[in-house]
């Protein structure tokens, strides 16, 4: 089964153009399934049955896994066994009739506009690190790009004059505009700070750490947590919170869904539609709170 899993992951990369995070998630889920089945004496993919898969799902539920997590596992199984069926590795798909549990729809955490403003004001712009941090936060909020995209940006990916950045994806490049606040913060960072931080490393990356090396996801996550605590924001903030806030604030101020979809890089507009539903939910909450006969 190990070889079949490797083949499936390669297929995701070469034929389906799956993201790195998707491949890692599928591989992790399938390896855990493999370990469980081996304990049940099942080592060949041809011997996996619908009953054995349901047994594993029951095991996950008894372990206290959330419905959303179980749904993700089932999606991994379905993709894998469909691949095996199409390749002629198995004669029947044991995952065909698996159905995910009902998942309560939860909207992502977002910052209010005032919370965002507080966070932006926290970096000490009298220091090189603070200037860099302000530029990173401003650009992240101004574009809604993923943190992985932010820390992968190179100086050549940014056009200050035209006020946009280019994010490189396997299928196509994505051009995202940014505004005056981000532009001003970037100008200060490039004029006063970046050369000091890069030193002799001659890095091509736009943002670097204090050693002149590219920023890491973990380093940026700690940075956001630090400034959120300083700003007194009690919400559980992650780097992705900025991405959600970017989309929600644009739609709140009248942007159309298709434009936001393009900027976010969503393949399916239904993903972007979630933020519209959030706004509708906010309207209902306000109505119930303030209408005298609600």
Q: Is 244 a catalytic residue?
A: no
Catalytic residue list contains 73: no
Q: Which residue in 34, 243, 244, 249 is the catalytic one?
A: 243
Q: Is 243 a catalytic residue?
A: yes
275 included as an active-site residue: yes
Q: Is-catalytic flag, 240?
A: yes
Residues 6 or more apart whose Cβ sits within 8 Å of residue 39: none
Measured over the CA atoms of residue 19, residue 222, residue 174 and residue 260, the dihedral's sign is positive
**Strand segments (E) across the chain:** 158-159, 164-168, 173-177
29 and 73 Cβ atoms separated by less than 8 Å? yes
Report residue 214: phi and psi, to 5°.
Answer: -60, 145
**Catalytic residue chosen out of the listed positions 97, 170, 172, 291:** 170
The catalytic residue among 34, 146, 194, 244 is 146
Which three-class secondary structure state does DSSP give residue 175?
Answer: strand
Cα gap 166→172, rounded to integer Å:
10
**Is there a catalytic annotation at residue 78?**
no
Active site amino acids: 146, 170, 240, 243, 266, 275
């Amino acid at each position: 089964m190990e070889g079949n899993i490797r083949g499936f992951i390669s297929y995701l990369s070469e034929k389906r153009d799956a993201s790195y995070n998707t491949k890692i998630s599928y591989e992790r889920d399938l390896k855990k399934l493999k370990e469980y089945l081996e304990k049940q004496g099942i080592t060949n993919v041809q011997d996996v049955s619908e009953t054995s898969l349901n047994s594993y799902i029951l095991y996950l539920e008894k372990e206290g896994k959330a419905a959303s997590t179980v749904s993700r596992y089932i999606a991994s199984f379905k993709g894998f066994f469909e691949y095996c069926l199409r390749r002629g590795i198995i004669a029947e798909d044991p995952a065909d009739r698996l159905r995910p549990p009902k998942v309560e729809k939860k909207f992502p955490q977002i910052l209010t506009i005032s919370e965002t403003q507080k966070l932006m004001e926290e970096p000490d712009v009298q220091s090189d690190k603070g200037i860099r941090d302000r530029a990173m936060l401003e650009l992240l909020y101004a574009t809604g790009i993923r943190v992985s995209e932010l820390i992968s940006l190179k100086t050549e990916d940014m056009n200050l004059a035209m006020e946009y950045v280019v994010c490189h994806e396997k299928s196509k490049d994505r051009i995202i505009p940014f505004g005056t606040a981000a532009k001003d913060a970037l100008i200060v960072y490039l004029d006063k700070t970046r050369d000091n931080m890069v030193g002799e490393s001659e890095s091509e990356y736009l943002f670097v750490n204090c050693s002149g090396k590219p920023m890491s996801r973990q380093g940026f996550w700690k940075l956001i947590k630090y400034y959120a605590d300083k700003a007194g924001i009690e919400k559980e903030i992650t780097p992705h919170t900025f991405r959600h806030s970017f989309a929600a604030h644009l739609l709140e101020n009248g942007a159309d869904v298709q434009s936001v979809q393009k900027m976010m890089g969503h393949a399916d507009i239904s993903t972007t539609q979630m933020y519209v539903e959030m706004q509708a939910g906010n309207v209902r909450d306000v109505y119930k709170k303030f209408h005298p006969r609600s």
